[in-house]
Amino acid sequence: MSLTVLLPDYPGAADLVSAIEGVRVVTYDPHDQLNMPAEAVDAEVFVPPFLASRELVPLAESLPRLQLVQLLSAGAEAWIGALPERVKLSNCRGAHGGSTAEWVVGALLSIYRDFREFDAAQRAGEWAYHQTDTLQGKRVLVVGAGDLGRQLERRLLPFDTEVTLVGRSAREGVRGEDELPELLGEYDVVVVVVPMTEDTRHLVDAKFLARMADGAIFVNGARGPVVDTDALLAELTSGRLRAALDVTDPEPLPEGHPLWRAPNLLLTPHVAGSVAGQHQRAFRIVARQIAQFAAGKDPENLIRGSY
Protein backbone atom coordinates (compact mmCIF):
# COMPACT_ATOMS: atom_id res chain seq x y z
CA MET A 1 0.00 0.00 0.00
CA SER A 2 1.52 3.32 -1.09
CA LEU A 3 1.37 6.84 0.35
CA THR A 4 0.46 9.43 -2.29
CA VAL A 5 2.39 12.68 -2.03
CA LEU A 6 1.31 15.80 -3.95
CA LEU A 7 4.57 17.57 -4.69
CA PRO A 8 5.56 20.82 -6.46
CA ASP A 9 7.63 20.09 -9.55
CA TYR A 10 10.94 21.63 -8.48
CA PRO A 11 14.16 20.22 -9.99
CA GLY A 12 15.13 16.93 -8.35
CA ALA A 13 12.27 16.94 -5.84
CA ALA A 14 10.26 14.10 -7.37
CA ASP A 15 13.30 11.81 -7.65
CA LEU A 16 14.24 12.42 -4.01
CA VAL A 17 10.76 11.77 -2.59
CA SER A 18 9.81 8.92 -4.93
CA ALA A 19 12.88 7.02 -3.72
CA ILE A 20 11.17 6.60 -0.34
CA GLU A 21 9.78 3.09 0.06
CA GLY A 22 6.00 3.00 -0.15
CA VAL A 23 5.62 6.51 -1.62
CA ARG A 24 3.90 7.47 -4.86
CA VAL A 25 4.57 11.01 -6.12
CA VAL A 26 2.10 13.20 -8.01
CA THR A 27 3.65 16.47 -9.20
CA TYR A 28 2.03 19.80 -9.96
CA ASP A 29 3.21 23.11 -11.42
CA PRO A 30 4.18 25.36 -8.45
CA HIS A 31 3.41 28.42 -10.56
CA ASP A 32 -0.12 27.17 -11.31
CA GLN A 33 -1.03 25.39 -8.09
CA LEU A 34 -4.77 25.94 -8.47
CA ASN A 35 -4.74 23.77 -11.61
CA MET A 36 -3.95 20.41 -10.04
CA PRO A 37 -3.72 17.06 -11.90
CA ALA A 38 -6.64 14.66 -11.52
CA GLU A 39 -4.50 12.33 -9.36
CA ALA A 40 -4.29 15.05 -6.68
CA VAL A 41 -7.55 13.75 -5.24
CA ASP A 42 -5.63 10.71 -3.94
CA ALA A 43 -3.08 12.77 -2.00
CA GLU A 44 -2.49 11.88 1.63
CA VAL A 45 0.45 14.29 1.90
CA PHE A 46 0.46 17.76 0.34
CA VAL A 47 3.65 19.81 -0.05
CA PRO A 48 2.72 23.43 -0.89
CA PRO A 49 5.15 25.54 -2.95
CA PHE A 50 7.66 27.87 -1.37
CA LEU A 51 6.16 30.86 0.46
CA ALA A 52 2.65 29.43 0.04
CA SER A 53 -0.04 31.59 1.62
CA ARG A 54 -3.28 30.84 3.41
CA GLU A 55 -5.01 31.06 0.01
CA LEU A 56 -4.02 27.41 -0.54
CA VAL A 57 -5.81 26.20 2.60
CA PRO A 58 -9.11 25.62 0.71
CA LEU A 59 -7.20 23.43 -1.73
CA ALA A 60 -5.85 21.35 1.14
CA GLU A 61 -9.34 21.12 2.64
CA SER A 62 -10.69 19.80 -0.68
CA LEU A 63 -8.39 16.76 -0.69
CA PRO A 64 -10.54 14.03 0.88
CA ARG A 65 -7.70 11.68 1.89
CA LEU A 66 -5.28 14.34 3.13
CA GLN A 67 -3.49 13.52 6.39
CA LEU A 68 -0.41 15.78 6.37
CA VAL A 69 0.64 19.18 5.02
CA GLN A 70 4.44 19.29 4.82
CA LEU A 71 5.80 22.82 4.36
CA LEU A 72 8.97 23.89 2.56
CA SER A 73 9.43 26.80 4.98
CA ALA A 74 10.13 26.99 8.70
CA GLY A 75 7.43 29.63 9.14
CA ALA A 76 3.97 28.10 9.41
CA GLU A 77 1.84 31.04 10.53
CA ALA A 78 -0.39 30.90 7.44
CA TRP A 79 -1.38 27.30 8.21
CA ILE A 80 -1.58 27.01 12.00
CA GLY A 81 -5.20 26.65 13.06
CA ALA A 82 -6.44 26.77 9.46
CA LEU A 83 -6.49 23.06 8.58
CA PRO A 84 -9.14 20.44 9.41
CA GLU A 85 -8.44 18.57 12.66
CA ARG A 86 -7.68 15.37 10.75
CA VAL A 87 -4.72 17.02 8.96
CA LYS A 88 -1.32 17.28 10.62
CA LEU A 89 1.15 20.08 9.87
CA SER A 90 4.94 19.79 9.64
CA ASN A 91 7.45 22.51 8.79
CA CYS A 92 10.93 22.54 7.25
CA ARG A 93 12.94 23.43 10.33
CA GLY A 94 16.63 22.89 9.65
CA ALA A 95 16.61 23.88 5.98
CA HIS A 96 16.88 27.67 6.05
CA GLY A 97 18.43 28.55 9.41
CA GLY A 98 21.95 28.72 8.05
CA SER A 99 21.19 31.18 5.27
CA THR A 100 19.10 33.42 7.52
CA ALA A 101 21.84 33.40 10.17
CA GLU A 102 24.29 34.35 7.42
CA TRP A 103 22.06 37.31 6.50
CA VAL A 104 22.07 38.52 10.11
CA VAL A 105 25.87 38.40 10.27
CA GLY A 106 26.13 40.17 6.91
CA ALA A 107 23.71 42.90 8.01
CA LEU A 108 25.65 43.52 11.23
CA LEU A 109 28.98 43.67 9.39
CA SER A 110 27.49 46.09 6.86
CA ILE A 111 26.26 48.41 9.62
CA TYR A 112 29.32 48.26 11.86
CA ARG A 113 31.87 48.54 9.02
CA ASP A 114 29.95 51.24 7.08
CA PHE A 115 29.91 49.22 3.87
CA ARG A 116 26.93 51.17 2.49
CA GLU A 117 28.67 54.48 3.13
CA PHE A 118 31.86 53.27 1.47
CA ASP A 119 29.85 52.01 -1.51
CA ALA A 120 28.19 55.41 -1.88
CA ALA A 121 31.60 57.10 -1.70
CA GLN A 122 32.97 54.77 -4.38
CA ARG A 123 30.09 55.65 -6.67
CA ALA A 124 30.79 59.32 -6.05
CA GLY A 125 34.51 58.88 -6.69
CA GLU A 126 35.45 59.89 -3.14
CA TRP A 127 38.24 58.42 -0.96
CA ALA A 128 36.15 58.60 2.22
CA TYR A 129 38.66 57.23 4.72
CA HIS A 130 37.36 56.99 8.28
CA GLN A 131 37.47 54.65 11.23
CA THR A 132 34.50 52.32 11.67
CA ASP A 133 33.02 50.27 14.47
CA THR A 134 33.52 46.49 14.67
CA LEU A 135 31.46 43.40 15.42
CA GLN A 136 34.29 42.11 17.60
CA GLY A 137 33.51 42.19 21.29
CA LYS A 138 29.84 43.04 20.86
CA ARG A 139 27.20 41.53 23.14
CA VAL A 140 24.38 39.95 21.11
CA LEU A 141 21.01 38.91 22.52
CA VAL A 142 19.23 36.36 20.31
CA VAL A 143 15.51 36.05 21.06
CA GLY A 144 14.61 32.61 19.75
CA ALA A 145 16.55 29.48 20.68
CA GLY A 146 15.44 27.09 17.94
CA ASP A 147 17.35 25.99 14.86
CA LEU A 148 17.89 29.54 13.59
CA GLY A 149 18.97 30.87 16.97
CA ARG A 150 21.51 28.07 17.35
CA GLN A 151 22.76 28.53 13.78
CA LEU A 152 23.21 32.24 14.43
CA GLU A 153 25.07 31.65 17.68
CA ARG A 154 27.48 29.30 15.89
CA ARG A 155 28.25 31.93 13.24
CA LEU A 156 28.61 34.86 15.63
CA LEU A 157 31.00 33.30 18.12
CA PRO A 158 34.01 33.26 15.72
CA PHE A 159 33.72 37.07 15.60
CA ASP A 160 34.57 37.15 19.33
CA THR A 161 31.08 38.22 20.25
CA GLU A 162 29.26 37.31 23.44
CA VAL A 163 25.97 35.59 22.55
CA THR A 164 23.01 34.98 24.85
CA LEU A 165 20.03 32.91 23.69
CA VAL A 166 16.51 33.54 25.00
CA GLY A 167 13.78 30.90 24.68
CA ARG A 168 10.24 30.50 25.87
CA SER A 169 11.52 28.84 29.03
CA ALA A 170 14.93 28.76 30.70
CA ARG A 171 17.15 25.70 30.24
CA GLU A 172 20.82 24.94 30.04
CA GLY A 173 22.46 27.58 27.86
CA VAL A 174 19.17 29.45 27.31
CA ARG A 175 17.60 32.26 29.33
CA GLY A 176 13.82 32.44 29.74
CA GLU A 177 11.60 35.01 28.01
CA ASP A 178 10.50 36.29 31.43
CA GLU A 179 14.04 37.68 31.80
CA LEU A 180 13.82 39.84 28.67
CA PRO A 181 12.94 43.12 30.41
CA GLU A 182 16.13 42.90 32.47
CA LEU A 183 18.34 41.67 29.62
CA LEU A 184 17.47 44.06 26.78
CA GLY A 185 19.42 47.06 28.04
CA GLU A 186 22.65 45.08 28.50
CA TYR A 187 23.30 44.23 24.81
CA ASP A 188 24.71 46.00 21.77
CA VAL A 189 22.56 43.93 19.39
CA VAL A 190 19.13 42.35 19.83
CA VAL A 191 18.13 39.82 17.15
CA VAL A 192 14.61 38.38 16.99
CA VAL A 193 14.23 34.97 15.30
CA VAL A 194 11.00 33.67 16.84
CA PRO A 195 8.15 31.94 14.96
CA MET A 196 5.13 34.08 14.08
CA THR A 197 2.21 33.23 16.37
CA GLU A 198 -0.44 35.22 18.17
CA ASP A 199 1.83 35.10 21.23
CA THR A 200 4.71 36.73 19.35
CA ARG A 201 2.68 39.34 17.43
CA HIS A 202 4.08 42.76 18.42
CA LEU A 203 6.47 41.08 20.83
CA VAL A 204 8.75 43.98 19.89
CA ASP A 205 6.63 46.93 20.96
CA ALA A 206 7.41 50.40 22.30
CA LYS A 207 8.25 49.04 25.77
CA PHE A 208 10.58 46.38 24.34
CA LEU A 209 12.44 48.92 22.23
CA ALA A 210 12.61 51.50 25.03
CA ARG A 211 14.47 48.98 27.19
CA MET A 212 17.22 48.56 24.58
CA ALA A 213 20.48 50.45 25.11
CA ASP A 214 21.08 53.76 23.34
CA GLY A 215 22.79 53.15 19.99
CA ALA A 216 21.94 49.44 19.96
CA ILE A 217 21.01 47.60 16.75
CA PHE A 218 17.71 45.75 16.45
CA VAL A 219 17.54 42.95 13.85
CA ASN A 220 14.35 41.22 12.69
CA GLY A 221 14.99 37.85 11.04
CA ALA A 222 11.55 36.50 12.01
CA ARG A 223 8.34 37.89 10.50
CA GLY A 224 7.15 41.46 10.07
CA PRO A 225 4.22 41.42 12.52
CA VAL A 226 6.55 40.39 15.36
CA VAL A 227 7.44 44.11 15.43
CA ASP A 228 5.22 47.14 16.03
CA THR A 229 6.29 49.10 12.96
CA ASP A 230 5.20 52.51 14.30
CA ALA A 231 7.15 51.97 17.53
CA LEU A 232 10.28 51.01 15.61
CA LEU A 233 9.91 53.99 13.27
CA ALA A 234 9.78 56.31 16.27
CA GLU A 235 13.06 54.94 17.63
CA LEU A 236 14.79 55.07 14.25
CA THR A 237 13.62 58.61 13.55
CA SER A 238 14.85 59.80 16.94
CA GLY A 239 18.26 58.31 16.15
CA ARG A 240 18.38 56.37 19.41
CA LEU A 241 18.36 52.92 17.77
CA ARG A 242 19.53 51.38 14.50
CA ALA A 243 17.91 48.41 12.76
CA ALA A 244 18.24 45.77 10.07
CA LEU A 245 15.01 44.28 8.68
CA ASP A 246 14.52 41.49 6.17
CA VAL A 247 10.79 41.40 6.90
CA THR A 248 8.25 44.17 7.40
CA ASP A 249 4.66 44.80 8.39
CA PRO A 250 3.06 45.37 5.92
CA GLU A 251 4.82 43.17 3.38
CA PRO A 252 5.61 43.70 0.58
CA LEU A 253 6.32 47.24 1.72
CA PRO A 254 4.05 49.56 -0.29
CA GLU A 255 5.27 52.59 -2.20
CA GLY A 256 5.54 55.65 0.00
CA HIS A 257 5.68 53.76 3.30
CA PRO A 258 7.76 55.61 5.96
CA LEU A 259 10.15 52.65 6.33
CA TRP A 260 11.54 53.36 2.85
CA ARG A 261 12.87 56.70 4.11
CA ALA A 262 13.62 55.76 7.70
CA PRO A 263 17.09 56.75 8.90
CA ASN A 264 19.43 54.28 10.59
CA LEU A 265 17.82 51.33 8.78
CA LEU A 266 19.21 48.55 6.58
CA LEU A 267 16.28 47.01 4.68
CA THR A 268 16.15 43.93 2.42
CA PRO A 269 13.04 42.44 0.72
CA HIS A 270 12.60 39.11 2.59
CA VAL A 271 15.61 37.50 0.96
CA ALA A 272 17.45 36.01 3.97
CA GLY A 273 16.49 32.46 2.99
CA SER A 274 16.34 33.05 -0.78
CA VAL A 275 19.73 31.66 -1.73
CA ALA A 276 21.28 29.16 -4.11
CA GLY A 277 20.52 25.58 -3.11
CA GLN A 278 17.46 26.42 -1.00
CA HIS A 279 15.28 23.88 -2.84
CA GLN A 280 17.79 21.08 -2.43
CA ARG A 281 18.26 21.76 1.28
CA ALA A 282 14.51 21.99 1.86
CA PHE A 283 13.66 18.80 0.01
CA ARG A 284 16.26 16.83 1.94
CA ILE A 285 14.37 17.80 5.09
CA VAL A 286 10.99 17.17 3.44
CA ALA A 287 12.04 13.71 2.25
CA ARG A 288 13.05 12.78 5.78
CA GLN A 289 9.73 14.00 7.21
CA ILE A 290 7.74 12.08 4.59
CA ALA A 291 9.79 8.92 5.15
CA GLN A 292 8.98 9.09 8.85
CA PHE A 293 5.28 9.56 8.07
CA ALA A 294 5.29 6.71 5.55
CA ALA A 295 6.75 4.49 8.28
CA GLY A 296 3.78 5.27 10.51
CA LYS A 297 5.57 7.84 12.69
CA ASP A 298 4.93 11.51 13.31
CA PRO A 299 7.41 13.71 11.41
CA GLU A 300 10.05 15.12 13.76
CA ASN A 301 9.09 18.64 12.61
CA LEU A 302 5.42 18.13 13.44
CA ILE A 303 3.87 21.34 14.77
CA ARG A 304 1.95 20.67 17.94
CA GLY A 305 -0.46 23.34 19.07
CA SER A 306 0.89 26.82 18.30
CA TYR A 307 4.64 25.84 18.39
List, by residue number, the catalytic residues.
223, 251, 270
Helix axes 147-156, 97-112, angle to 10 degrees: 40
Do residues 21 and 42 make contact, with C-beta atoms less than 8 angstroms apart? no
> How large is the C-alpha radius of gyration of the chain?
21
Do residues 143 and 192 make contact, with C-beta atoms less than 8 angstroms apart? yes
Q: How far apart are CA 221 and CA 271, in angstroms?
A: 10
Contacts of 241 (CB under 8 A, 6+ apart): 209, 212, 214, 215, 216, 217, 218, 232, 235, 264
Residue 30, burial from CB neighbour count under 10 angstroms (0-12, 13-18, 19+): middle
Q: Which residues pair with 25 in a beta bridge?
A: 5
Residue 45, burial from CB neighbour count under 10 angstroms (0-12, 13-18, 19+): buried
